[in-house]
């Protein structure tokens, strides 16, 4: 750890302490969360978890659910760095559930990508593939091309390793979930892969347009078609 990192850690520690003394718990929690990120980046994982858990406790007490979901995501990242897959998956799934309830698509996508990677490392391949597919779809809708590339790259990597089956059906579904945000792109993928042409999805695509319906209704159809988050969350 260099002197600048150490100084910044001490500054954040003192800031959090001062905020608590001044009865500003939200500011204290955010500072503790930032301190946890700094500890994780420096490789001090035990300290990172200690700070993150303190921040999470305050967010829960305040009823700040978005911050709670974000902190659980960060905790999942730390457990993932420790290769503690069970705790990492647990944190990401908790964060995913809250994010989904809040309708926070960016956090949902982030959790799906992270937990998908961790599940693959833990050899939970079928669940990993579902999560990576959903993250790819959400990132395409959100227009976050860098993260979309990460999700697609992860699916391709595990398929090359033969961790993911490469049957025509599975490859078609991967392409479907990785389709760009335009309805024309999604229609194109469905046309090229007949196995995707279920009546409910075809009817939805036939009646959809970018102004009145848009791709978000396609997301609903895909959740129903493949099982998606509810299936995994219930297991």
Q: For residue 201, what is the domain's CATH number?
A: 1.25.40
Q: How far is CA 33 from the centre of its chain?
A: 18
Rounded to whole angstroms, how far apart are CA atoms 47 and 43?
A: 9
Each residue of 214-231: pLDDT tens digit?
445 555 555 445 444 333
Tens-digit pLDDT profile for residues 65-98: 999 999 999 999 999 999 999 999 999 999 998 9
Q: Is residue 93 assigned to a domain?
A: yes
Q: Provide the domain count of the chain.
A: 1
In a domain, 158, yes or no: yes
**Span 188-199, average pLDDT:** 67
Nearest to 77 by CA among 113, 102, 103, 126: 113
Q: Cα(192)–Cα(174) distance, rounded to whole angstroms?
A: 13
Q: Which residue has the higher pLDDT, 60 or 211?
A: 60
Q: Within a domain: residue 57?
A: no
Q: Is residue 205 assigned to a domain?
A: yes
Mean pLDDT of 138-164: 82
Q: Is residue 99 part of a domain?
A: yes
pTM for the model stands at: 0.75
Let me know if residue 218 belongs to a domain: yes
Percentage, residues of the chain above pLDDT 90: 28
The answer to whether position 16 is within a domain reads no
Q: Which domain holds residue 210?
A: 64-233
Task: Tell which residue, 86, 25, 34, 87, has the closest CA to residue 59.
Answer: 25
Residues 195, 196, 201, 203: what is their CA dihedral angle, to the nearest 10 degrees?
A: -50
CA angle 154, 83, 137 (to 5 degrees): 25
pLDDT of residue 194: 67
3 located within any domain: no
């Amino acid at each position: 750890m260099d002197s600048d990192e150490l100084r910044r850690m001490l500054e954040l520690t003192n800031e959090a302490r001062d905020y608590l003394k001044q009865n500003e718990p939200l500011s204290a929690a955010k500072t503790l969360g930032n301190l946890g990120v700094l500890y994780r980046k420096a490789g001090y994982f035990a300290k990172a978890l200690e700070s993150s858990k303190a921040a999470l406790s305050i967010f829960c007490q305040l009823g700040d659910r978005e911050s709670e979901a974000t902190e659980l995501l960060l905790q999942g990242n730390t457990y993932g760095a420790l290769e503690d897959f069970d705790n990492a998956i647990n944190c990401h799934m908790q964060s995913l559930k809250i994010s989904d309830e809040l309708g926070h698509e960016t956090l949902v996508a982030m959790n799906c990508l992270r937990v998908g990677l961790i599940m693959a490392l833990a050899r939970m391949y079928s669940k990993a593939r579902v999560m990576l597919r959903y993250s790819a779809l959400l990132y395409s809708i959100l227009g976050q091309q860098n993260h979309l590339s990460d999700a697609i790259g992860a699916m391709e990597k595990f398929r090359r390793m033969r961790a993911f089956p490469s049957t025509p059906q599975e490859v078609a579904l991967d392409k479907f979930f990785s389709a760009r945000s335009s309805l024309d792109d999604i229609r194109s993928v469905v046309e090229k892969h007949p196995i995707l042409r279920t009546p409910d999805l075809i009817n939805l695509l036939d009646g959809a347009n970018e102004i009145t319906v848009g791709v978000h209704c396609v997301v609903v159809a895909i959740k129903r078609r493949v099982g998606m988050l509810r299936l995994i969350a219930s297991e």
